Amino acid sequence: MFSGLIERLNKFVVSFLNATTMKKFLLVLGIISLISSSSFAQTEQKKSKYAIETDILWPFLVQTTRTHYTIKIWEKGNLRGDVYVGLNIDFPRDRATEGRFADYSIASGYRQYLWKGLHLEFSQTIGMGVLQNHVTTGINYKSFDCLVTGYVGYKFEFAKKKLYILPQFGVAQVLYKSNPWPIYEDETLTKEVGETPFMFGSLRFGYNF
């Protein structure tokens, strides 16, 4: 009689311990899964949504600096769209067909990735252009300017995709000047040509965060 009672009691205790252990195991597993999912989601969100980049050639070639803060706004497979805003400064320098030129503007744009790092980009810069001592009139000018640019380029990522370089080739055109000044074809200063489209290259260095 007592042996049967003890046997049933042992079965109950074992069953209770097994159930409690299983519940604890499931609870711990659930917490781990929740934390893992949350961490993974945060990692994916931070992976390459934001970046800061600056041109590393322009300061030496054309005495210009340009820095962007970029944000990924959508992504689907290899397709992706980034927007950016930044600062563009042309430091004062002499232009043989104009005078001593400088520009201080805000840059914004959209970058469309087509396949991996291959992309097209549209950019606009809006700001104040300053010309001192014009080559023929000697007058100083200040003008509110708008410049648009189209680029094609490729993004190369390295250092576990935290860093990248962005070589680009583009065509630019000044669309508007509130106070235009005479611009000449060459240093003979005989023929005025105004603003014309021009081609240029760019090499940006960036950090993803």
Q: State mean pLDDT over 133-160.
A: 97
Quote the pTM value: 0.74
Q: What's residue 45's pLDDT? A: 43
Name 92's Cβ contacts closer than 8 Å, sequence gap at least 6: 100, 101, 102, 130, 132
Asked whether residue 23 carries a pLDDT value surpassing 90, the answer given is no
Q: State mean pLDDT over 197-201.
A: 95
User: Which amino acid, 185?
Assistant: E
- Between 95 and 19, the higher pLDDT residue: 95
Q: Quick check: helix, strand or coil at residue 159?
A: coil
Q: Is the dihedral of CA 167, 168, 169, 175 positive or negative?
A: negative
Q: What is the pLDDT of residues 48-73, one digit of tens each?
A: 799 999 999 999 999 999 999 999 99
Asked whether residue 7 carries a pLDDT value surpassing 90, the answer given is no
Instruction: Please tell me the distance from the alpha carbon of residue 140 to that of residue 74, in angstroms, as a whole number.
Output: 45
pLDDT band at 12 (very low <50, low <70, confident <90, very high): very low
Instruction: Please tell me the distance from the alpha carbon of residue 136 to that of residue 207, in angstroms, as a whole number.
Output: 45
* Pairing between β-strand 99-115 and β-strand 64-76 as defined by DSSP bridges: unpaired
Asked whether residue 43 carries a pLDDT value surpassing 50, the answer given is no
In this prediction, what percent of the chain has a pLDDT beyond 70? Answer: 78
Q: State mean pLDDT over 76-84.
A: 94
Q: Quick check: helix, strand or coil at residue 157?
A: strand
Q: What is the pLDDT of residues 120-132, one digit of tens each?
A: 999 999 999 999 9
Q: State mean pLDDT over 147-169.
A: 97
CATH top class, domain 50-208: mainly beta
Q: What's residue 149's pLDDT? A: 97
Q: What's residue 8's pLDDT? A: 55
Q: What's residue 37's pLDDT? A: 45
Q: What's residue 78's pLDDT? A: 86
